[in-house]
Each structure stands twice: as structure tokens, then as C-alpha cells.
Amino acid sequence: MTPMDRIKALLNTIYGAQAAGAVFDKILPVIEKYSVQKRKKETFFSHQDVILITYADSLNNQGSPALETLRHFAKQYLKETISDIHFLPFFPYSSDDGFSVMDFCQIRPDLGNWDDVQAIGRDFGLMFDFVVNHFSSQSQWFKNYLEAKPGFEHFAIEVDPSADLSLVTRPRSLPVLSEYKKNDGQTVHLWTTFSEDQIDLNYCSPDVLATMIDVLLFYTSKGATILRMDAIAYLWKQIGTTCIHLAQTHDMVKLFRAVLDLVAPDVIIITETNVPHAENITYFGDGRNEAQMVYNFTLPPLLLYTFLEQDVCMLSQWAKGLSLEPENNTFFNFTASHDGIGVRPLEGILPSSEIEKLINAANRCGGNVSWKQNSDGSQSPYELNITYLDAILADQSSEKTEKFLASQAIQYVLPGVPATYIHSLLGSRNWQEGVLETSRARSINRERLWVEDVIRQLNNPESFRARIFFPYLELIRIRRKQKAFNPNAGFEILDLDSKLFCIKRHCETQTIYAITNISSQPVSVDLPVQKSKDLITGQIAEATSFKLKPYQYVWLEQK
């Protein structure tokens, strides 16, 4: 079936046979606006894929646009290690640090412009946020809706406030509906999954669908190589259901994929669904018709738990299930992002008593906990708001960089594409001042830095930033040379010791044993390998037994 045939079939499924033709007629001119890109890549993923996650203004320089500042920094320090840069929303916004988008097709003037973005794209792949679920209450779109302008009458989801919404899954402890007044004086209650400033888009409307397909293809025309579908799990609403992971939501992902397969077949979709693992991986679809990548949301909290408990058993057991059949699907492996450390993905893996240990540890280390509202009115933990570095070190005064780097070494050997948040790479600690300034817990790991201060610290080899940054870059540099670390290369988890995480990665030309001591004590290792080379140190080893120092990691290439 061709992509165009898939589009028609999906419209029929989503909107019904009677309406599908009209919806197709609405979106076809939008699709035809954009030139079809010829496929250039045989496969979507490579062992050289490494993604940097950042806000456009994470680094700033007085008098220069932030995008220009980031471009200079990235060219100087990251050209040989980072393949792609994920820009968190850099559009005009009204709240939520960019995720309440006012204009989906403009760059914030203080950051620069599309020319600056495309200049970065000459050296790096570009990953953009496709904020697919909602738009700002301060946007022109919303003003058009309130005025009932043609094409915008049904942009938002109007709900009778007496409707039974008790089954709706809530990611926040906020009301699901917010009240607004239209220009004609009518009061309406609109669906607002995340906040009253973030109006959920009504995908029952062909006008919304056509508009968002236009946004999707506009991003590809500006050089996007990866598109992150933010909060995709909540896209379709149907009263009387949980309104999460609905069949129509999956069909919408398939529809966006079919549109990209038609116009920009090399562009990758990644779905952002901070939910338990079994739910998360459903967004691969059949392996060919939904996302090529999904966020590996279980990894950050489970890896943190592993280091706190100094026991790899749960991590190893979970990691054994990371196999994927199709070669064009893989995990997006990360430990930190602009958000906190989600704990919902641990449901079904750890009992609540063990999750409570993570909550207590975050509180001890200067972090906070965000909560979500359950259908029975109770609350449960949603995420830990703390930098991953402070969470792993478990001591705000600690400067044991080797412990944090050990956690990142595990992330970088798992099957999947590794991604590193800029504040992890730069060794940033909890930004308590930001929490006080904004009254938002998530600000703790969203500090805006002055680039001259960062460079000054990097130029001092004794500084904490330098002792994180340069060993981290070296780890990445070494990894990108190893074909056995292809995202879809074979792997086997070896149960050597409760203090050792060991994974065997292999392809036709290379076999690597990656072993990490996650404890504060030396641990003996016994491997059935007669001769190997440690890719980290370059040393040749002929012994099958050796000791790893606390938090030491080795990548042993079998000879």
C-alpha cells in the first residue's frame, strides 16, 4: 500500500467513510504545498547517532542571539561527538517554558531566526518539538476561535461541565476543563490537559488536522530530521474513556507517519509518552507504521534506583526485554531532560515501597516531587524534580564525578540511540534559585547559563564542569567508533554479580563486553574472554579475571 493509500484508509478509519472524502480534500492541498524529498538513507539509525537535548537559550552571550551562541559553542566543542541537536520549543510562548506555543512557525526573536537554525543544521541533524496536543490561550489561533472566525470555530474541545470525566487519566493535579468566554458572550468549558493556558486541539475538526499537517511539513522544510511528538498519548478525547492511548491516537500517529513517508521519508518520528513501559512501546505500532523511536522512559528512574540500592538485578532483568524486531525501530535512551525523572514508568517493575525510596532520596538531595491526580481523587507521584547528576550523587556536596559518569556509561551501551541533556553534559547542579524565581519545580534543571562562565570553568581542568564535560565527551567519542553499539546490534545481558551491570553487544565484525561497577566497593570480574582490549583505556588484557574499582566501567573488545 502506498503512503497516499494509507492516508486515505486512515482517514476512513478515523473520521468514517462518509466524512473521509471531505477531510482528504481538506488536507491534500496542504500536502501538495511541499516538495517531495527523495529518500537518501538506507536505514534510519547508526552507531554514530548521539543527540544533545537543549533549550535554544541554555547558553547565552550578552548581545548575541542565543542560537548563534549555541552554534559557536557546538562547533567548537561538540562537532566530533554529537550528531543531532534536539531543540526544545523555540517558538513564541506564553507559559511552560515553551510548551504553550503561540506561533508554531516562528522562532522567538530573542533567540534568532530560521536562518540561525538552518546554519546549525549544516553541522548537525535537527530535532524539533512538534507540540501536537495543545496551543496557547494567548495565541492568534485561540483569538480566532473565540471570535468564531471561519476555519477556527472547532479548534478547541467544548465540553458540558456536567459530563462525567472521572475516567480521564490526569497527568497533573489540575482540573481537566477550564472556563472561557467567547466574543459573543457565550461561556464555554474547554479541555485543558496540562494547564488553563494550554488549550487542547480538537482533532475531530478537519481544519485542525490540516493546520497541524501544515506545521509538520513546514518543520521538514526547515531541515528537521527528527520530530518529537509531545504529549501524544492524550491527543484524542472521548468522554467515557481514559482519553489516553486511544485507538484514534494511534491512528493519528500512523497518519502523520504516512504523510512523512510520502513527503519526507527520511524524517524520524519519536513519541513522548511518560507512561509504563508496556504502554510506551505500543507507539512502535507494527514496527513500520507508527514511531521509529520511543522515549525509553523506564531507564532514568530504574537506573537511579540501581545506583541508590547498589544492586543491578532489577535493571538487568528489565534490560533483557529491550529487543525489537524491525531494524528501523529503536529506543531513545536518556537519563535527564528538561522535565523531571518520571516515576510512572516504574509501575509494574518496582513496588510502591521502593518508589518511595526514590522520592525520599530526591527530597534529601534538594529536589521536589510532582504529583498527578488519579480517577478516585487520590494523588500519586508523577516525577522527581532534580538534576540527574544530584540524584545519582545522592549528596549535594559530593563531587564524585566518576559515579555520575558510570551511570551515563550504562546509558550509552544499551540498545538504542543515546541522548544527553545539556545540563548533564555540563555538570550542572540543582538550580534552586530558579525554583524560587518561577515557583515551578521543573525549573530546578532548566538553568540559563552565560557561555563565558561555562567556558571559563571548562578551561579550568580542576573545575567540576570540566571533570564531567571532557570525560563525558571522550566516552561519546569512543562509543561512536564501535559498530557493535549500533542501536539495533545484538545484545545479551550477563548476570555476573549484583554490583556489576554487564551487557554483551555484538555485530558481524565486533563483540564488546561493557561492564560497570555500580557500587562504592571494588568488585571482582570473571569473563570467558581470553584476550580483550579496553576501549576506554586502550590497554590489552589477557586475564579472564580482574577487579573493577568503585564506579569503574570498561568496554572490552574481544580479540
Burial level of 455, CB count in 10 A (0-12/13-18/19+)? middle
Cell of 155: 479548534
Sign of CA dihedral 275, 290, 508, 125: negative
- CA–CA distance, 458 with 425 (Å, rounded to integer): 11
Question: Which one-letter DSSP state was computed for residue 37?
Answer: P
Catalytic, 395? Answer no
Cα–Cα distance measured from residue 525 to residue 539, given in angstroms and rounded to the nearest whole number: 17
Count of beta carbons in the 10 Å neighbourhood of residue 442? 18
Q: What is the dihedral of CA 69, 71, 77, 83, to 10 degrees?
A: 150
Cα 211 to Cα 152: distance, rounded to the nearest angstrom: 10
3-state class (DSSP) for residue 74:
helix
Check residue 411 and give left, alpha or beta (phi > 0: left; psi -120 to 50: alpha): alpha
For residue 95, give the nearest of 134, 63, 57 by alpha carbon: 134
Contact status, residue 408 vs residue 472, Cβ threshold 8 Å = yes
pLDDT value of residue 316: 98
pLDDT at 30: 98
Contacts of 106 (CB under 8 A, 6+ apart): 91, 92
pLDDT at 556: 95
- For residue 18, the model assigns a pLDDT of 96
HEC string for 150-211: CCCCCCECECCCCCCCCCCCCCCCCCCEEEEECCCCCEEEEECCCECCEEEECCCCHHHHHH
Q: What is residue 425's predicted lDDT score, i.e. its pLDDT?
A: 98
Residue 378: what pLDDT?
A: 80
Distance, in Å, from the CA atom of 427 to the CA atom of 389, rounded to the nearest integer, reads: 7
Tens digit of pLDDT per residue, the chain (559 long)?
899 999 999 999 999 999 999 999 999 999 999 999 988 888 899 999 999 999 999 999 998 999 999 999 999 999 999 999 999 999 999 999 999 999 999 999 999 999 999 999 999 999 999 999 999 999 999 999 999 999 999 999 999 999 999 999 988 878 999 999 999 999 999 999 999 999 999 999 999 999 999 999 999 999 999 999 999 999 999 999 999 999 999 999 999 999 999 999 999 999 999 888 999 999 999 999 999 999 999 999 999 999 999 999 999 999 999 998 778 899 999 999 999 999 999 999 999 999 999 999 999 999 999 988 777 778 888 899 999 999 999 888 788 899 999 999 999 999 999 999 999 999 999 999 999 999 999 999 999 999 999 999 999 999 999 999 999 999 999 999 999 999 999 999 999 999 999 999 999 999 999 999 999 999 999 888 878 899 999 988 777 788 999 999 999 999 8
- The pLDDT of residue 40: 85
Which pLDDT score, from 0 to 100, does residue 374 have?
79
Task: Give which of 161, 326, 308, 144 is closest to 239, Cα–Cα.
Answer: 161
- Residue 61 in contact with residue 450, Cβ under 8 Å? yes
Question: How does DSSP assign 310-371, residue by residue?
Answer: T--HHHHHHHTT---SSTT-EEEE-S--SS-EE-GGGTTTS-HHHHHHHHHHHHHTT-EEEE
Candidates 96, 200, 230, 261; catalytic one:
230
**Residue 501 to residue 110: CA distance in whole angstroms:** 45
Which contiguous run of DSSP H or E holds residue 379? strand 379-385
**Structural domains of the chain, ranges and CATH numbers in brackets:** 486-558 (2.60.40.1180)
